[in-house]
Amino acid sequence: MHILILLIGGNPLPNFVITKYLFEERNIDDNIKIKPDLILLIHTTETERFARKLKKAAEQHTEKVEFLTLEDSGREPLYIRNKIIEKLEKIKRDTLNVRSLHLNYIGGTKTMAVQITRTVENWVTENPGTKFILSDVNPKNHKIVISQNGVGYPLTGDLRDLLKLTTHQLFQLHDMKIYNEGLDTLSVDKDDLLSFCSNLLEIYKGSERKNFGKKVTRIGIMYNQIKRDNDKETEEEILKTDNILRLKNQIEQKIPTLNNLFSKAETPNTQKIKFVTGGWLEELVQNSLFKLQTQVWPEIHEIRRSIKAEYEGRTTEIDVIAIQGYQLYLFSCTTANRISIVKQKAFEALYRAEQLGGEHAKVILVSTLFNNYNSNEEMDSEQNIHNLQELKKDLSQFDAARNCIRIGIDELEGEIMGKNTLTEKFKSIF
């Protein structure tokens, strides 16, 4: 009997990765590849739902998947030790021969990890015929690292080369309902997109930046407010509201390429509004990722935007995601020109990325904020208050700056001008 023991925490992704790897037919790493006859999922009451999702995924490979619940005692050492010993002794009585125990300790509470590791080590010492493997899934090199000798598996390449996770699988694993898996194509021609963005960034970098930004923000707020208050009306009916129509017309006058972009008469106003209030930035990011995928980084196998899901009754939206193997890259896009709003978007993105991808995920914040200070302007000017350097200071107070890659208007402008500055930035990230 070969047993794989997994500790289930708030993010089941590493558990999923090691399970898939051990059953991967192409795997030739004989020292670690012992296909388990039994997978034991150790969880608390709080993480039971993730254990059930993981069990469903694991049952594609083996029928023997069992739960061991610690109920609400995931931080009580004596209780944990007794439960583990009781379970191992029962398995030993039932099977007579436990040939190997592979414990991956990455999930669960710290108390669980320490107590279960010590308990299993002691149990193996008392049962000398059992091989013991203790492992971690390293988020830096994307390998399963064996604690006893420090060797990482697979020996060549990394886990992302072997395991391809889809957007649907990622959300399903985290017990999230998906309303919209996102779009994997642009809604407009890419050349027309760049032309529109060029026109728009002239405004964002000019003297009208502040007033134009207010109009864009107002139309978004008004649209969402009316939609909440009049849930029986269609989106198109909402956009016939006088105030929204007036703002929409003002925006179209400033950006004549907006109507050229959506030249078809049947294009709904909602699509125009969503595009001008931030959709253009999501599509610019997606277009740059497509270029990176085609020209340099084919390992990126999923690029989607406008994903909508629900978790614990709350709706969540993700602007753009890219997946390489099982590693999540979450892009949060905002056209807000106030640092407080951009900072809020950054924290939301960090939370969601941690929830979905754990330590393995990366967060990229793409905004229209200025990149740097301007020494030629007053210190209280728009650029010297609302820029990425100031944002970094704010995020550093919460130890969030190192986990959030920040991209500003300079990279966007360079990309639109054909310098590939955004694509090159993404290349350095991947």
Q: What are the pLDDT digits (tens) for 172-192?
A: 999 898 888 999 999 888 988
Percent of the chain with pLDDT over 90: 53
Say what the pLDDT of residue 238 is. 56
> What is the CATH T-level fold of the domain 2-159, as seen in this structure?
Rossmann fold (3.40.50)
Four-residue CA torsion sign, 24, 28, 31, 37: positive
How high is the pLDDT of residue 257? Answer: 67
Q: How much is the pLDDT for 48?
A: 95
In the structure, what pLDDT confidence band is assigned to residue 232 with cuts at 50, 70 and 90? very low
pLDDT of 235 above 60: no
pLDDT at 297: 87
E strand or H helix that includes residue 116: helix 110-126
Q: Averaged over 107-136, what is the pLDDT?
A: 93
Q: What is the pLDDT of residue 130?
A: 92
Where are the chain's structural domains?
2-159, 190-429
The pLDDT score that the predictor gives to residue 314 is 84
pLDDT at 299 over 70: yes
Structure tokens at 410: 């300079």
Higher local confidence (pLDDT), 157 or 208:
157
* Cα separation, 264 vs 157, whole angstroms: 48
- Among 172, 148, 149, 144, smallest CA distance to 159 is for 144
- The phi-psi region of residue 142 (left if phi > 0; otherwise alpha if psi is between -120 and 50; otherwise beta) is left
401-404, long-range: CB < 8 A, 24+ apart: 403/350, 403/363, 404/346, 404/349, 404/350, 404/363, 404/364, 404/365
Strands 327-334 and 314-324: antiparallel
Residue type, 292: L
Q: Is the pLDDT of residue 378 over 70?
A: no
Q: Given pLDDT bands bounded at 50, 70 and 90, which one contains residue 216?
A: confident
> Cβ contacts of residue 379 below 8 Å, gap of 6+?
none
DSSP-H helix ranges across 255-379: 257-261, 269-274, 280-295, 339-357
We find that the CATH architecture of domain 190-429 is 3-Layer(aba) Sandwich (3.40)
Instruction: Determine the pLDDT at residue 101.
Output: 95
> Which is more confidently placed, 266 or 70?
70
